[in-house]
């Protein structure tokens, strides 16, 4: 891990290419924090002086219950129990005791046969033999035995845990590097990459080996790959003696990375500014509602401020901010489009005369027709009687009108027949005509609103494609 006074160990020109003093300090502090809280992967925060951190990663940290669940017989269960005791001894810096229990787990003891096919056992042996800042017992540290243990761990992990096999090969590479066998160290690191190409420490290790061999042209591509995965490797290289002997190669790489990030920033910034402007113009001129882009603009301004650092880290941070800005812009636009479409559909559902309203109007006209029919039945005989009684009736000696049975029947039937005929030939046609007009009006207004919704959908779709 890089030291906190890194800026004093490199030229001001190189430092300016990588990051400002503030960014360097923040990055180093972040890496230190990662180490103190534990690592879940090998990144720029890792330092082989703290190799014991590997024991806390991946399946090496599986609980005893999880390990016993893997056991297929009592001997394997016993082996996992021995491994768990060894881990506890390793945690307490009791290396000799840890090795004793690991040997029992692998080779057995007494009536227990042991279990040598679990990569965890060999990986922990390798870490103990490799040593670290907390354990420097010369009787325990053995780089050759450490390398062999790591190779065994990679062998048994390869099928089911390729990423951990990659870490094992990388550890074997470091053991070889420390032993001075750089060619073997390089071969192991290349094998680590073949197992998992996204472990930046493997690429950094090969770059370090080539730099140690004074082969900067071979080293730079691997360092660049490590930095692409984790940019903090740029800082790690600045505090690594193997790299400091090749300042020109580093300056050339960092200048290239700076220019690449700068061009990406300018392109991304131009893109987001055009999107903001186009979206604002479209909404102001075409769409309803209000599009709130204040947070998007705030992120854009933050990116512009970060870019003023004019360094690899400055532009890298700015590009990440612009990526966040673009994602936020997409979310704001999506929410706006969804909201306006919901509003449009609501207006569509409420447009014109609703189907319930049509039913009510139809029922109302039906009721009027029935009431008219009833009134006609009761009122028409009286009306006709008043007009026809002098004609049909005959006065007797007392001046009263007398009617025959036929006359009475006619007085009742004729008004009823007339009323029914009026309803059939006038009332019902009027009712049907009114109903048809109401439906036509409803459908017309519905279609108009649907067309408006479709037009809005097309425009909103255009907005989403900005």
pLDDT at 353: 47
CA 361 to chain centre: 52
Q: Which among 49, 52, 6, 47 is positioned nearest to 25, based on CA atoms?
A: 6
Tokens standing for 102?
A: 């690991």
Q: Which residues contact 369 (CB under 8 A, 6 or more apart)?
A: 423, 427, 428, 431
Residue 317 to residue 305: CA distance in whole angstroms: 10
CA torsion, ordered 29, 32, 37, 39, to nearest 10 deg: 120
pLDDT at 271: 92
Output the CA–CA distances (angstroms, integers) from residue 345 to 247, 284, 454, in the order listed: 65, 21, 10
pLDDT at 180: 92
pTM for the model stands at 0.72
Residue 117 to residue 70: CA distance in whole angstroms: 12
CB burial of 45-75 (b: ≥16 within 10 Å; e: otherwise) equals bbebeebbbbbebbbbebeeeebeeebeeee
Residue 328 to residue 323: CA distance in whole angstroms: 9
User: Tens digit of pLDDT for each residue in 46-92?
Assistant: 666 666 677 777 788 888 899 999 889 999 999 999 999 999 999 88
- Residue for token pair 């006609």: 376
Residue 67 to residue 76: CA distance in whole angstroms: 9
Q: Are 376 and 369 in contact (CB under 8 A)?
A: no
Q: Which parts of the chain have pLDDT scores under 50?
A: 1-4, 7-8, 35-38, 350, 352-353
Residue 430 to residue 419: CA distance in whole angstroms: 15
Percent of the chain's residues with pLDDT above 90:
40
Tokens standing for 134?
A: 């907390």
Q: Which domains does the chain have, with CATH numbers?
A: 6-254 (1.25.40.10), 260-334 (no CATH), 355-464 (no CATH)
Which DSSP state fits 401? E
pLDDT at 1: 47
Output the CA–CA distances (angstroms, integers) from residue 40 to 34, 73, 271, 347, 435, in the order listed: 9, 31, 36, 53, 73
Residue 8 CB neighbours (<10 A): 8
Output the CA–CA distances (angstroms, integers) from residue 39 to 127, 158, 205, 240, 287, in the order listed: 16, 22, 18, 21, 50
């Amino acid at each position: 891990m890089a030291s906190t006074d890194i800026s004093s160990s490199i030229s001001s020109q190189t430092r300016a290419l990588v990051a400002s003093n503030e960014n360097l300090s923040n990055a180093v502090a972040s890496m230190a924090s990662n180490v103190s809280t534990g690592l879940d992967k090998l990144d720029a925060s890792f330092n082989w002086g703290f190799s014991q951190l590997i024991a806390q990663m991946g399946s090496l940290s599986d609980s005893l219950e999880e390990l016993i669940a893997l056991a297929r017989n009592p001997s394997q269960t016993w082996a996992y129990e021995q491994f768990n005791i060894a881990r506890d001894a390793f945690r307490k810096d009791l290396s000799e005791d840890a090795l004793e229990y690991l040997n029992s787990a692998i080779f057995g003891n007494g009536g227990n046969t042991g279990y040598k096919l679990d990569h965890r056992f060999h990986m922990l042996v390798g870490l103990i033999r490799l040593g670290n800042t907390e354990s420097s017992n010369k009787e325990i540290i053995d780089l050759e035995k450490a390398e062999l243990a790591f190779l065994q761990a990679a062998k048994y992990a390869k099928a089911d845990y390729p990423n951990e096999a990659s870490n094992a090969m990388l550890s074997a590479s470091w053991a070889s590097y420390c032993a001075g066998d750089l060619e073997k160290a390089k071969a192991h690191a290349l094998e680590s990459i073949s197992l998992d190409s996204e472990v930046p420490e493997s690429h950094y290790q090969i770059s370090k080996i080539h730099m140690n061999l004074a082969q900067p042209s071979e080293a730079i591509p691997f360092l660049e790959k490590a930095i692409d995965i984790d940019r903090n490797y740029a800082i790690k290289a600045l505090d690594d003696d193997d790299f400091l002997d090749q300042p020109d190669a580093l300056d050339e790489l960092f200048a290239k990375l700076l220019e690449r990030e700068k061009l990406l920033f300018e392109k991304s910034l131009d893109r987001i500014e055009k999107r903001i402007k186009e979206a604002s113009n479209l909404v102001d001129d075409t769409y309803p509602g209000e599009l709130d882009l204040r947070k998007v603009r705030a992120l854009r301004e933050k990116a512009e401020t970060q870019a003023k650092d004019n360094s690899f880290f400055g532009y890298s941070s700015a590009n990440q901010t612009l990526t966040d800005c673009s994602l936020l812009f997409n979310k704001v636009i999506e929410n706006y489009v969804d909201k306006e479409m919901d509003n449009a559909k609501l207006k569509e559902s409420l447009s014109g005369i609703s189907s319930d309203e049509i039913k009510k109007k139809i029922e109302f006209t039906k009721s009027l027709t029935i009431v008219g029919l009833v009134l006609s039945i009761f009122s028409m005989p009286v009306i006709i009687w008043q007009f026809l009684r002098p004609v049909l009736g005959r006065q007797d000696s007392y001046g009263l009108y007398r009617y025959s049975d036929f006359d009475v029947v006619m007085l009742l039937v004729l008004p009823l027949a007339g009323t029914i005929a009026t309803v059939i030939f006038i009332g019902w046609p009027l009712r049907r005509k009114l109903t048809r007009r109401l439906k036509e009006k409803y459908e017309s207004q519905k279609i108009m609103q649907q067309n408006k919704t479709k037009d809005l959908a097309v425009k909103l779709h255009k907005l989403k494609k900005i």
